Amino acid sequence: MTRRKEQGKQVEIVTDWAALWRRLAETRYWRGFNRPDSREQVDVWRSKAREYDQRIKRRWSQRDSTRDLILSQVDAGTTVLDVGAGTGRWSILLAQRVRRVTAVEPAPAMIELMAENLAQEKIRNVEIVQGTWPEVQVGPHDVSLCAHGMYSSPDLPAFVHAMVAVTRRTCYMVLRALGADHVMAEIAQHIWGQPYDSPNFTVAYNVLLDMGIYANVLMEDTGLWEPETHASLEKALADVKRRFGLGDSDEYDHYLLGVLKRRLDARGGRYVWPRAVRSALVYWDVNA
């Protein structure tokens, strides 16, 4: 919420959270090579799918409250829809506890690695469906889950409505939760006048509230994610400009370099970002 003066009075302006989500998704994921259906993005996942899978495996090497809670709510008769399944970490975990999993994933490189992971684990009760949610058509499931697979969808209300429509019991969403002192929050405040640089838990939760969904929240108890690193300040600058959709403009270069020099830690020949991100589990009963 922001305030402005109008005829000498302070007037409150309520944020349109769905519109903010759309703008953030379109800026970060739908410009240039980040567009999910672009050839460049397909090639990026082709080269990074295995690296992504290894990073998830490292994070999952220790137990956490998110997985514990979801596993406690399913049994051998449960059917699960995994939206944006990636390389199949959640599908594999759940398939060992439930009757059937439907894994929806748009990226061919991710699907190939998911199929490889399923074969290694001898998992046979996962059906892979290639496509982008919510355009994909699937039947009803007891539980639906989307873990970090919603960020490239500009219309979050439509995304959520589609999950609810095929869920008999509970919807689960796992999202990035950023600290208020995150570097990107500082940059977003300067460039956009608000602290959200990308689709995340805070924006999504307010979208849900506006939809009349009063969801439960559980913050991941395993601490903050591994920090991002860059080989140079120039590479860090290029990445920030890409995320903010700045293209070839040098309007903010001086400011951005100043922030990066001040906030990033030069260590081991790389520039390390402060740790400021964890996961938040958001869940609700569709019949409540």
Say if residue 35's pLDDT is above 60: no
Q: What is the pLDDT of residue 13?
A: 60
Q: How confident is the model at residue 8 (pLDDT cuts 50, 70, 90)?
A: low
Averaged pLDDT of the chain: 89
Q: What is the pLDDT of residue 59?
A: 79
Query: What is the CATH topology of the domain spanning 14-227+273-285?
Result: Rossmann fold (3.40.50)
Residue 9 corresponds to which tokens in the numbers above?
């009075």
Taking the C-alpha atoms of residue 48 and residue 57, their distance in angstroms, rounded to an integer, is 14
pLDDT digits (tens, 9 = 90+) for 229-257: 999 999 999 999 998 989 899 999 999 99
Residue 197 corresponds to which tokens in the numbers above?
């640089």
Domain boundaries, the chain: 14-227+273-285
The residues pairing with 219 across neighbouring beta strands, listed in sequence order, are 280
Q: What is the pLDDT of residue 50?
A: 81
What pTM, to 2 d.p., does this model score? Answer: 0.89
Q: What is the pLDDT of residue 65?
A: 93
Q: How confident is the model at residue 288 (pLDDT cuts 50, 70, 90)?
A: confident
Tally of CA atoms within 13 A in the half-sphere of 251 that contains its CB: 7
Taking the C-alpha atoms of residue 113 and residue 239, their distance in angstroms, rounded to an integer, is 26
Q: What is the pLDDT of residue 235?
A: 96
